[in-house]
């Protein structure tokens, strides 16, 4: 075999390994983000059931109350989420 062919095969293998590593890393990141979203959604449901989240509560105040009560449980997003299936009356209001 020519040295060029050997080098090209080696590079193809390395590129495949790198691509597989990126896919694995992305899947892990998406999995953790999903867990954080689910935890935040559960916290929001608990607070809503307890009456701590009124309909017209500004998002910044809500984020501060969540950070004060339980900062380790979840990290709320910077912008208000849209909970269409669970909270139809609060879309964009929080």
Mind listing the pLDDT tens digit for each residue in 21-62?
A: 999 999 999 998 888 888 888 888 888 888 888 878 887 887
With residue 14 as reference, give the H or E element that holds it: helix 3-50
Mean pLDDT of 54-71: 75
Structure tokens at 58: 């500004």
Q: What pTM, to 2 d.p., does this model score?
A: 0.59
Using alpha carbons, list the distances in angstroms from residue 51 to 5, 46, 57, 81.
Answer: 69, 9, 11, 19
The whole-angstrom separation of Cα 29 and Cα 27 is 5
Between residues 78 and 63, which one has the greater pLDDT? 63
- Asked whether the predicted pLDDT for residue 9 surpasses 60, the reply is yes
User: In degrees, to the nearest 5, what angle opens at C-alpha 81 toward C-alphas 55 and 72?
Assistant: 95
């Amino acid at each position: 075999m020519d040295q060029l062919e050997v080098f090209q095969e080696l590079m193809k293998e390395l590129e495949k390994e790198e691509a597989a590593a990126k896919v694995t890393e992305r899947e892990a990141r998406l999995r953790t983000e999903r867990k954080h979203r689910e935890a935040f959604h559960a916290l929001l449901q608990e607070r809503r059931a307890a009456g701590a989240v009124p309909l017209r509560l500004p998002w910044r105040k809500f984020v501060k109350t969540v950070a004060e009560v339980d900062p380790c449980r979840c990290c709320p997003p910077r912008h208000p989420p849209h909970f269409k299936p669970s909270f139809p009356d609060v879309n964009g209001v929080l």
